[in-house]
Amino acid sequence: MAAGAGVEGQDGPGGIRFIVAVPARLESSRLPGKVMADIHGQPMLERVLRRCREAARPDAVVLCTDSEVLRQAAEGWGFPVLMTSPECSSGSDRLASVVTALVGLASGPELARTVILNVQGDQPFIDPVVIDAMAAEFERRQPTPEVLTPVYRIGEEKVHNPNVVKTLLAADGRALYFSRSALPHVRGVEPDRWHAHAPYWGHVGIYGYRADVLARWGSLPPSPLEQAEKLEQLRLIEAGISLGTFVVEGDFLSVDTTEQLEQARAMAAG
């Protein structure tokens, strides 16, 4: 088992292996240094890594970063680190650049039989149960999905919050679009009542990539929608790659603003 791994992964019915990879950079554009921000006596990134390690299914939990500061910190906490280029444009791009090394951390390293679980480094309360639920969904569905991501029902107070990413779902659960705007637009109804006329789904910042799909990331064409919304998953949708979803219960916090950081600190203190 790789150094810093959680409970050793067990092959499911399809023989799938799972690796949790946490992409992180120190200089976030909206909240610089946020991944090392203190949350009730512990850096946010350490919280994320340790909670990921509580999941039962992954073979390993690894940090992927271009920061020497983050490398030293993570190794001090007992987690393996893969160094990436500072030119990576997104978390998925960062993981794709080291996908061969990530696959090598799984027992029986085979590209199509390995799933990379991309957990964002700004989710200090990520639930290990959700990580294991994603692994179970990959094993349950046939054929093995290309990409899966969890969604949750959001309340009226978050429908118009641009810091909460919304997901528009098809009837079969596929993600049709992701946006910082409210989706769908309910015509003829005041925006503060839209929630009473349509379900609104928030996106939990986790993606499960079949490793052979993640390896194609660098060859996917540039995505105007990705650039407009600053949401990396739109590159997949524009390229015609299917994003499956599954519903999880609860409320989920990603820290992108000072306000959300203070919210996280209050939650941890409470």
The pLDDT tens digits of the residues spanning 119-141 come to 998 999 999 999 999 999 999 99
pLDDT band at 33 (very low <50, low <70, confident <90, very high): confident
- Which residues are CB-neighbours of 178 under 8 A, at least 6 positions away? 165, 166, 167, 168, 203, 229, 231, 233, 234, 237
User: Is 48 in contact with 146 (CB distance < 8 Å)?
Assistant: no
Q: Decide the pairing of beta strands 243-247 and 201-203.
A: unpaired
Spatial separation of the C-alpha atoms in residues 144 and 122, rounded to whole Å: 28
Looking at residue 10, its pLDDT comes to: 40
pLDDT band at 12 (very low <50, low <70, confident <90, very high): very low
Mean of the per-residue pLDDT values for the chain? 89
In one-letter notation, the amino acid at residue 106 is A
The pLDDT tens digits of the residues spanning 226-249 come to 999 999 999 999 999 999 999 998
Name the percent of the chain lying above pLDDT 90.
71
User: Is 178 in contact with 224 (CB distance < 8 Å)?
Assistant: no
Which of 236, 244, 267 shows the shortest CA–CA distance to 138? Answer: 244
CB atoms within 10 A of CB 267: 13
- Which residues are CB-neighbours of 94 under 8 A, at least 6 positions away? 23, 25, 64, 65, 66, 84, 88
* CATH homologous superfamily of 17-269: Spore Coat Polysaccharide Biosynthesis Protein SpsA; Chain A (3.90.550.10)
Looking at residue 2, its pLDDT comes to: 31
* Tokens, residue 49: 């890594």
- Which residues are CB-neighbours of 143 under 8 A, at least 6 positions away? none
The pLDDT tens digits of the residues spanning 173-226 come to 999 999 999 999 999 999 999 999 999 999 998 999 999 999 999 999 889 999
pLDDT band at 147 (very low <50, low <70, confident <90, very high): very high
Name the percent of the chain lying above pLDDT 70.
93
CA dihedral for 116, 260, 256, 63, sign (positive or negative): negative
Looking at residue 107, its pLDDT comes to: 67
What are the two backbone dihedrals, phi and then psi, of residue 124, each rounded to the nearest 5 degrees?
-70, -15
The pLDDT tens digits of the residues spanning 37-56 come to 999 999 999 999 999 999 99
